[in-house]
Amino acid sequence: MTTLIRKVWESVSSRKGSNTESTSSSSSSSSSSLATSSTACLGAFDRVPTDLLMQIVRLVGPKEAAKLSAVCKAWRCLVSDNELWIFFLQNQKKQEEPHWDSFLFSETHLRSGYPLQPFWSQMPQLSFMAIYGQREQVPGSVIIDGGSGYCKFGWSKYACPSGRSATFLEFGNVESPMYSRLRHFFVTIYSRMQVKPSLQPVVLSIPICHYDDTESAKASRRQLKEAIYKVLFDINVPAVCAINQATLALFAARRTSGIVVNIGFQVTSIVPILNGKVMRKVGVEVMGLGALKLTGFLRELMQQNNIGFESLYTVRTLKENLCYVAADYEAELSKNTQASFEATGEGWFTLSKERFQTGEILFQPRLAGVRTMGLHQAVALCMDHCHSAELTDDDAWFKTVVLSGGSACLPGLAGRLEKELHGLLPPSVSKGITVIPPPYGADTAWFGAKLISNVSTFPGPWCMTRKQFRQKSKAKLMW
């Protein structure tokens, strides 16, 4: 570091002969803030422009910059500048949050754990140097997004999940509070990751279930919670954070309040969330139609049109790559919508109207013989309940709709839902409604868990330890 600074100083000195007056003027004006306190400490460097010193500190990196803060008061003042550490944070490894906005959201909204306490008002007082140091000390954690259909797992420091498995095929329904089944599930995940459970915390996303606010539903949720914690602590996991998928999807969209539409494996849930908490008293709407039904309906359409295929996996692949949601279903019927896709091992497939007829059953379930309300009707009903509940002075909290789940990635779905909601609800309620597609595709909930895992205060306010679990009568389990 000394050599680098010496070289830069020599470079500055060599330019004085050709531009003495301009350099002197710049030096005296730029270093005025440091001149008083740096005479004895910085020596010759009090003649170097502050912005040039800042460039030098950026080159030496965060670890060396932190050491400089111990030299003297002047250096400490220089290297503790928030802009410097924002630069370091923005240039961290790609394994961290891919967006600066995500980092800022997590550090200003998720630092305290539950109940959420936004730190926006304290932004000027936040020390990004301290946050950088705290994040460097955050332990890596295992993230398990345990969906009812498919499970994604991996390290919190990785850019994306490192493994996936078909939960419904290998383990049955993970929502079932059966100790042996849950233990088999978690042991298998840790085995595939080739890590010891005792070495790091785990952040677990759980499909929202037992939707009602009745006493029996509360008891069922409590039993499931306790079974999950007991299994994980029995296999020596040091700390556990378990949060439902809908809340994690909302965090991934950098929101703490809104309505999450989670298209799951078997059902679609419409979940109102205020300040990170599921508003079950308002009501969680459930449609008996999910990803499995969408895939099955496309299979029926292909069979009706004599399009052969060897497996349901092929149909699912075609759904993910060719299907979309039409903005206007009736108008789309008269268009040429033919498109082709090559499925591995089975060759080329060409679909036409099947492409948008598949997703249309979300809005017209009767097309697939399903007796339930359409997606737009279920979301509108949820919004109406939120509006009537008057939980806050500002009803804008429920007007952001975040889509979640693999089938929610169908192109056109967000636009169509937003259009239908504006047409279905009165202007007083529909004004300001925004529908956000899954921010990270099918891995949206996993990335929401990643935000929590990398926040500077993790695991403290977010995780429960074995000791706390044993004293659960005095502690509140997060759900």
Point out the least confidently predicted range of 170-179, 231-240, 318-327: 170-179
Could you tell me if 265 and 474 are in contact, meaning their C-beta atoms sit under 8 angstroms apart?
no
- pLDDT average, residue stretch 287-308: 96
Residue 72: per-residue pLDDT: 72
Distances, alpha carbon 447 to alpha carbons 94, 251, 375, in Å: 14, 8, 25
Q: Give CA–CA dist 417/434, Å, rounded.
A: 10
Could you tell me if 434 and 399 are in contact, meaning their C-beta atoms sit under 8 angstroms apart?
yes
Give the three-state DSSP class for 366.
helix
pLDDT tops 90 at residue 157 = no
pLDDT tops 70 at residue 185 = yes
Q: Residue 240 forms beta bridges with which residues?
A: 202, 464
The pair of structure tokens assigned to 424 is 């279905």
The Cβ-side half-sphere exposure at 360, using a 13 Å CA radius, reads 20
pLDDT tops 50 at residue 40 = no
- Domain boundaries of the chain, sorted by first residue: 142-252+443-476, 290-370
Residue 177: per-residue pLDDT: 52
Q: Give CA–CA dist 355/374, Å, rounded.
A: 19
Point out the least confidently predicted range of 115-119, 169-173, 240-244, 297-301: 169-173
Q: Give the confidence band of 71 by pLDDT, cuts at 50, 70, 90.
A: confident
The pair of structure tokens assigned to 206 is 């759980």
Phi/psi region, residue 254 (left: phi>0; alpha: psi -120 to 50; beta: rest), is: left
Distances, alpha carbon 185 to alpha carbons 109, 179, 201, 242, in Å: 32, 10, 17, 15
Residue of 287, 262, 288, 289 whose CA lies nearest to 273 = 262
- pLDDT, tens digit, for every residue of 372-381? 999 999 999 9
Give the three-state DSSP class for 420.
helix
Q: Residue 285 forms beta bridges with which residues?
A: 270
Could you tell me if 208 and 246 are in contact, meaning their C-beta atoms sit under 8 angstroms apart?
yes
- pLDDT, tens digit, for every residue of 423-451? 999 998 999 999 999 999 999 999 999 99
Q: Which CATH number fits domain 142-252+443-476: 3.40.50.2020, 3.40.50.300, 3.40.50.450, 3.30.420.40?
A: 3.30.420.40
- pLDDT, tens digit, for every residue of 264-279? 999 999 999 999 999 9
pLDDT tops 70 at residue 132 = yes
Identify residue 149 by its one-letter amino acid code.
G
Phi, psi of 274 (to 5 degrees): -125, 120
Question: CB neighbours of 419 closer than 8 A, spacing ≥ 6?
Answer: 327
Q: Residue 351 forms beta bridges with which residues?
A: 339
Residue of 183, 273, 182, 259 whose CA lies nearest to 479 = 273
Instruction: Please report, rounded to a whole number, the percentage of residues in the chain having pLDDT higher than 90.
Output: 55
Place of tokens 């990785």: 158
Residue 67: per-residue pLDDT: 84
Q: Residue 165 forms beta bridges with which residues?
A: 151
Biggest CA–CA distance in the chain, Å, is 87
The pair of structure tokens assigned to 88 is 């370091």
Most confident of 41-55, 84-98, 143-157: 143-157
Give the three-state DSSP class for 436.
strand
Distances, alpha carbon 404 to alpha carbons 246, 260, 394, 438, in Å: 8, 7, 25, 5
**What count of other Cβ atoms lies within 10 Å of the Cβ of residue 311?**
11
Q: Give CA–CA dist 443/441, Å, rounded.
A: 5
- Would the CA dihedral through 11, 12, 13, 15 be positive or negative? positive
Phi/psi region, residue 345 (left: phi>0; alpha: psi -120 to 50; beta: rest), is: left
Residue 120: per-residue pLDDT: 57
Q: Give the confidence band of 146 by pLDDT, cuts at 50, 70, 90.
A: confident
CATH class of 290-370: alpha beta
**What count of other Cβ atoms lies within 10 Å of the Cβ of residue 55?**
11
DSSP E strand stretches across 157-299 = 163-165, 202-206, 239-244, 258-263, 268-274, 277-278, 285-287
pLDDT tops 60 at residue 34 = no
Q: Give CA–CA dist 79/66, Å, rounded.
A: 7
- pLDDT average, residue stretch 400-404: 97
pLDDT: is 127 or 272 the higher one?
Answer: 272
Distances, alpha carbon 29 to alpha carbons 12, 18, 49, 81, 237, in Å: 16, 19, 8, 19, 57
